[in-house]
């Protein structure tokens, strides 16, 4: 009932939240468009997972830990719940019955408690944010920059995870980027950032950040890690565009663990010029006999790299004996997943971070 009115719903929610509880306004950025989109995505994700308690608790736990960097306190949750339920009641109209109101009240209470508990447990073991200094920056062309930072405090994460980043030029605007390397001895992290149209944070990182600038990092997130692949000794990794970042980290992690898995890596792009990072990966394949690289270019003829990623996957498959990791544009992930499942790959062996999660798809 409410989803078709999503834009109006989120505008109204934040309007009454700030009117009733003005003390929370400073926690949010001046521009609220991305924040409104995240709220809607979170609500839709919660509804999608309502019959999947394990994943619902995992998702809400991620949200709770991630919200620490905004300064969120347990005392804020009742205010948000009050305004959220009032918003749903207003836009659902006659569909907002006493029964549905009771169900949403109970649901919000459960979500809030999971988030609060996760945040409290997280607070006992690590900070909410990590200052990190830019120590290296190199342009990869086509609006992509490779940015390496050194956190001021130890930063524990797993290869394949992503991290929220705040720049000094856009306070309170957090954007999410995958780490492009497995954990290093020197503690540095590398991000591959593409400047997108209208992207204030990505544009600043690509065109403005220099060595010496200090960024803020939120906690690592995401379940697309190598430990999720427990069944097969062979891996299929599929990357489109800057989706190469977490895939590269996974390759490095396989190497750190002694290269006991055979890894097939497919890289995809619309044009050969956009197929960035392929030279680095080919050099890795020369060092590691267990790594095989193939490419797919969909919109032009490039010797050795022809077709879309799903087409090339179908050509070299089947892949039902592999654990699969997908990373890249949402449409690529959807198409690749469909191709793989049709050829016999079990859905529970296909790993990717949900692209409808509110911490993704932000500019």
Catalogue all structural domains in the chain, each as residue range(s) with its CATH number.
3-123 (1.10.490.10), 130-221 (2.40.30.10), 226-351 (3.40.50.80)
Contact, 137 vs 146, CB < 8 A? yes
Q: What pLDDT shows up at residue 119?
A: 94
The SS3 assignment for 292 reads strand
pLDDT tens-digit profile of 36-71? 777 777 887 888 888 888 888 988 998 899 889 988
CA-CA-CA-CA torsion sign (251, 253, 256, 259): negative
- If one compares 277 and 215, the residue with the highest pLDDT of the two is 215
State the average pLDDT over residues 138-153.
90
CA-CA-CA-CA torsion sign (72, 57, 128, 205): negative
pLDDT band at 334 (very low <50, low <70, confident <90, very high): confident
User: Phi/psi at 76 (nearest 5 deg)?
Assistant: -80, -25
pLDDT tens-digit profile of 115-133? 999 999 999 999 999 999 9
Contact, 69 vs 175, CB < 8 A? no
Contact, 115 vs 67, CB < 8 A? yes
pLDDT tens-digit profile of 41-50? 788 788 888 8
pLDDT band at 317 (very low <50, low <70, confident <90, very high): confident
State the average pLDDT over residues 335-343.
88
- If one compares 317 and 17, the residue with the highest pLDDT of the two is 17
Contact, 285 vs 274, CB < 8 A? no
Whether pTM exceeds 0.75: yes
């Amino acid at each position: 009932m409410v989803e078709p009115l999503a834009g109006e719903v989120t505008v109204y929610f934040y309007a009454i939240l700030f009117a009733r509880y003005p003390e929370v306004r400073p926690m949010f950025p001046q521009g609220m468009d991305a924040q409104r989109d995240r709220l809607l995505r979170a609500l839709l994700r919660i509804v999608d997972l309502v019959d999947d308690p394990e994943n619902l608790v995992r998702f809400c736990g991620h949200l709770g830990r991630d919200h620490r960097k905004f300064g969120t306190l347990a005392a804020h949750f009742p205010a948000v719940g009050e305004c959220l339920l009032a918003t749903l009641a207003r836009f659902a109209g006659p569909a907002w019955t006493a029964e549905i109101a009771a169900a949403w009240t109970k649901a919000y209470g459960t979500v809030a408690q999971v988030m609060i508990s996760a945040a409290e447990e997280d607070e006992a073991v690590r900070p909410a944010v990590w200052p990190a200094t830019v120590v290296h920056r190199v342009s990869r062309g086509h609006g992509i920059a490779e940015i390496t930072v050194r956190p001021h405090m130890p930063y524990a994460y797993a290869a394949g995870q992503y991290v929220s980043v705040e720049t000094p030029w856009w306070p309170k605007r957090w954007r999410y980027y995958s780490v492009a390397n497995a954990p290093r001895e020197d503690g540095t992290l590398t991000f591959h950032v593409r400047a997108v149209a209208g992207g204030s944070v990505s544009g600043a990182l690509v065109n403005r950040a220099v060595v010496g600038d200090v960024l803020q990092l939120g906690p690592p997130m995401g379940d697309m890690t190598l430990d999720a692949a427990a069944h097969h000794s062979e891996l299929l990794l599929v990357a489109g565009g800057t989706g190469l970042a977490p895939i590269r980290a996974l390759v490095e992690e396989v190497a750190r663990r002694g290269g006991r898995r055979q890894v097939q890596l497919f890289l995809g792009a619309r044009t050969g010029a956009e197929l960035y990072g392929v030279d680095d990966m080919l050099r890795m394949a020369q060092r590691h006999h267990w790594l095989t690289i193939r490419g797919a270019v969909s919109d032009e003829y490039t010797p050795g790299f022809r077709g879309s990623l799903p087409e090339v996957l179908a050509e070299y498959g089947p892949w039902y004996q592999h654990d699969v990791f997908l990373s890249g544009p949402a449409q690529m992930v959807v198409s690749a997943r469909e191709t793989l499942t049709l050829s016999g790959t079990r859905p529970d062996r296909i790993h990717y971070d949900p692209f409808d999660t509110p911490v993704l798809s932000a500019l």
